Structure formats: structure tokens, C-alpha cells
Structure 1
């Protein structure tokens, strides 16, 4: 019986570290070149051009502060009080009209915030919904086009 001689297996050839080193050097060179091109203004324009441009004028707006509201929460809640303060972004010519209606706006804030379920107040995403609901109610009271936005400056449960 003839046995076929098998050639001894040679260990697999190891690749050198040269491709890894070349890749790292190329990464540094290309990264540095990209940074310099952006920083010097070769890619996105120069700093002098950006500084020389005039900014668009701001729209005619004013901010009317609303008195802070403190709401006591039921004993079943994790917190005992809600402190809510805000400002109204108003079209400039209607500042006096909106200021005149601040007591009615405070009434809307009190009524709505007391009616909300405590679980919804504790939800981190609820502030967006609450803000939208309050803004819509305030716009109904003040008239269309007077109040542009409601800016919540404080919403604290303690």
C-alpha cells in the first residue's frame, strides 16, 4: 500500500505592520489637510468674508414677562408644587395690548396647569405639548397675530 506523502503545512504568512502604519500616517495627513483647508477658508470661504457680511435685522418683537405661577399638586404626586414662569414673544406694536391682558393670561395658565394630570406633568416630553396648548389658548384671548410664541423660562416640580 502506497501512502501518499503529504507536504508539511507551512504556517500562514503574516502580513507586516507596514499597511497599518501607512494607514495611520495617511489618516493624520488627510485629517490635518482637511482641517487646514477649512480653517484657512479654502473650502467654505474666508473668515474675512464672513465677518464683513451684515446680519439681517431682527424682526419687530418684544418680550412680555408673565408673573410666575405656583400650583399645588395633590398628595399622591411625587412632588408637592409646580413653579411655572414664562415670557410672551409679542409683535412690537401690540406690546401694550398684551400687557393689558396679562391678568386674563394668568387665569388661563392657572386653569390649564391645574387641570393637567400629575402623571403628564412628570413626563419629560410633556412640556412641548403643554407649551403648545397654552400658546393656543393665549392666542385666542389676545387675538390673532399679537403673540408669536410662549417661552417657558421655568418649569420646576418640587
Structure 2
């Protein structure tokens, strides 16, 4: 057997230098990161102490009134029922005006909810889409600027 054949068949020893260099580099970076966060050089999400100085002062809440809506039960095509209860968020100055329009509001909501299919209600983003549609209809009935938001208290299909 020749020397070249013996060298080719012998196992090749790999250098452990890259493994050792990687471990040392990881240790140095981990230590540096720890001291950077601990010293406050890097802000940490959710750390209230680091961000208190940068937060703007909270502003006072706007005056608001809520007008409760009567529960609505709607029959769907397959014999199931939808129960909806909500409240309207209005400015206190418009509260009595919106209260007087409650029969019209209930009519609009009843008409809209009865036109829905079960597939419209069961889709993943259905409640957000339906809420936006109902709010837009309520704003048309009550007049622009009177109803700020529609709060859904109950939306159950039985």
C-alpha cells in the first residue's frame, strides 16, 4: 500500500477552532447585551420605569353618554335565532335627540339584521364588519355627529 492510499483512507481530523470561536463570540455578545439592557442603553418593551419620562400626559376623557337599545331577536333562515343588544355612545348634548329617534334606530337595526345570512355572521371578522355597517346606518338615521359609536353588548346565535 502506498502512502497516498493510506492518507486517503485515514479519518480526517477536523479543527475545533470554529466551535471554540463561536462559543466565545456567543458569550461575549450575550454579556454585552445583558449589560446594555441593564444599563438602560436599550429600552425594554413593557418596562414602565424606562418609558415613564417619554410618555405624554394622559388627556381627560371626553364627556359621553350611553343610550341603551332594547334587545333584538331575529329569526334566521335555518330556524336559528340571533340575539343582539347594544348601546349607543353619544355626546351628552345629543342624548335626548337620539333617545327620541330610538324607534327609527330599532327599525333600521331590525331590517339590517333580518337581511343577514348565517354565513355573514359566522365568518371570522363578521362582528367588526357588521358593527361598522350598523353604525353607518345609525349615523344616517340620527344625523352626522350625533352617534359616536355602537357598543355591542350581546351578539349570540342560538
* Pairwise same-fold verdict (TM > 0.5): yes
Q: Taking structure 1 as reference, are residues 31 and 83 closer, same or farther at Cα in structure 2, changes over 3 Å only?
A: farther
- Match of 1:12? 14
1:60 and 2:99 matched: no
Q: Taking structure 1 as reference, are residues 30 and 137 closer, same or farther at Cα in structure 2, changes over 3 Å only?
A: same
Q: Taking structure 1 as reference, are residues 32 and 115 closer, same or farther at Cα in structure 2, changes over 3 Å only?
A: same
- Match of 2:105? 105
- Match of 1:88? 88
Provide structure 2 residue ranges, at least 5 long, that are not aligned to the other structure: none
SS of residue paired to 1:8: helix
Separation in 2 of the partners of 1:31 and 1:124?
Answer: 41
Instruction: State the Cα RMSD in Å.
Output: 2.9
1:69 and 2:72 matched: yes
More deviation in 117-126 or 54-63?
A: 54-63
Task: Tell me by how many angstroms 1:126 deviates.
Answer: 2.1
- TM-score under structure 2 normalisation? 0.75
Provide structure 1 residue ranges, at least 5 long, that are not aligned to the other structure: none
- TM-score under structure 1 normalisation? 0.75
Task: Tell me by how many angstroms 1:82 deviates.
Answer: 1.1
